[in-house]
Amino acid sequence: MPGGIRAASSCAPVGREKRRVSLHEFGLQLLNGVTFGAVLFIVSSGFTLIFGLMRIVNLAQGALYLIGGYIGLSVIRGTGSFILGVIVGATAIAAIGFVIERGLLRLVRGKPMSEILLTVGLSFIAADLALAQWGGDPVTVPAPEAISGSTSILGIIYPVFRLVVLGLAVVLAALLWWLQERTRVGAIVRAGVDDREMVAALGINVKAVFTLVFTVGALLAGLAGVVGGAFLSLYPGADSEILTYSLVVVVIGGLGSLQGAIVGSLLVGLIYDFGQSLVPSLAYFVLFAPMALILIFRPRGLFGKETA
């Protein structure tokens, strides 16, 4: 059985002191939390994108993450190229997402519960096939040679790779924002979020936009799987864990909101990592406290719209 997200290559504090939380350790946890948040953002931005337009809670998002990571791992092991692994992993998952949307989700369009249950069934299949193909032992995607070293930020020795992932997440966030706010497709998607029937009535092929959005959402899950798999290991059960974190992210941030995904991912990443180091046995529990508070005081999430 999985034992929680294992930070495979998170670097141990150098010269650990006896004091409970030194400033150095605090900085390290901060970085760990933010970089974990970066991976969470990549997964949950896809999740929230799909929900925003299609109103589908894609509970297979965690499974797509895991499979993406495994495919990337196989490619990297075969070719030795990390970049190729990322590209193949992400595009393969995008293709799977395309097939799921075209072949299955269309059959139950308009029935939210059936859509959710369908993705649950798919995550069963994906988890089992992944177990058959890649086995049950935790594996870690090897980080590329060029950025596998460490660097020093304000005296904290930190793996470069995790910082690169953070950079990637920032670029993706900017890209997604640009796509949504500044392009024609983004305008269609935003209009679709608010009033799908009207968009269709204007002669826009909403079905095609749906397929596109679902495919992009899946692509983000696959991408997160490969880069996330390089510092969180991949194992059976990692799919459900990542899914759970994404759910907490979108519940906190608000379903369908890009800003919500950014803020939520950061919060969840930080809370998880600090909880992990302060109260290891209750690391999960502390994660859900903010979710509970948000639900009590702002059920739509921080950035969610009143009428979803």
Site membership for another protein, residue 12 (CB under 8 A)? no
Quote the least distance from Cβ 160 to another protein, whole Å.
Answer: 30
Site membership for another protein, residue 191 (CB under 8 A)? no
Q: Which of 23, 78, 80, 112 binds another protein (CB under 8 A)?
A: 112
Pick the stretch among 33-41, 149-157, 203-211, 275-283 that binds another protein (CB under 8 A).
Answer: 275-283
Pick the stretch among 66-74, 150-158, 167-175, 281-289 that binds another protein (CB under 8 A).
Answer: 281-289
Residue nearer to another protein on the CB measure, 29 or 123 = 123
Strand partners, 234: 139
Site membership for another protein, residue 285 (CB under 8 A)? yes
Residue nearer to another protein on the CB measure, 112 or 149 = 112
Long-range contacts of 192-200 (CB under 8 A, 24+ apart): 192/53, 193/52, 193/53, 193/256
Residue nearer to another protein on the CB measure, 85 or 225 = 225
Report which residue type is found at 258: L
CB 49 within 8 A of CB 215: no
Structure tokens at 79: 């070719």
Contacts with another protein: how many residues (CB under 8 A)? Answer: 59
Strand partners, 159: 150
- Strand 156-159 with 150-153, pairing: antiparallel
Cα radius of gyration (the chain): 19
Strand partners, 82: none
Structure tokens at 84: 């190729």
Site membership for another protein, residue 61 (CB under 8 A)? no
The tokens 């993450």 sit on which residue? 65
CB 42 within 8 A of CB 172: yes
Q: What angle do CA 170, 172, 173 make, to 5 degrees?
A: 65
Residue nearer to another protein on the CB measure, 163 or 287 = 287
Site membership for another protein, residue 118 (CB under 8 A)? yes
Q: Which of 38, 127, 209, 224 binds another protein (CB under 8 A)?
A: 127
Chain residues binding another protein by CB under 8 A are 1-4, 51, 55, 57, 59, 104, 107-108, 110-114, 116-118, 120-129, 131-132, 195-197, 237, 240-241, 243-244, 247-248, 250-251, 255, 280-285, 287-288, 291-292, 295-296, 299, 307-308
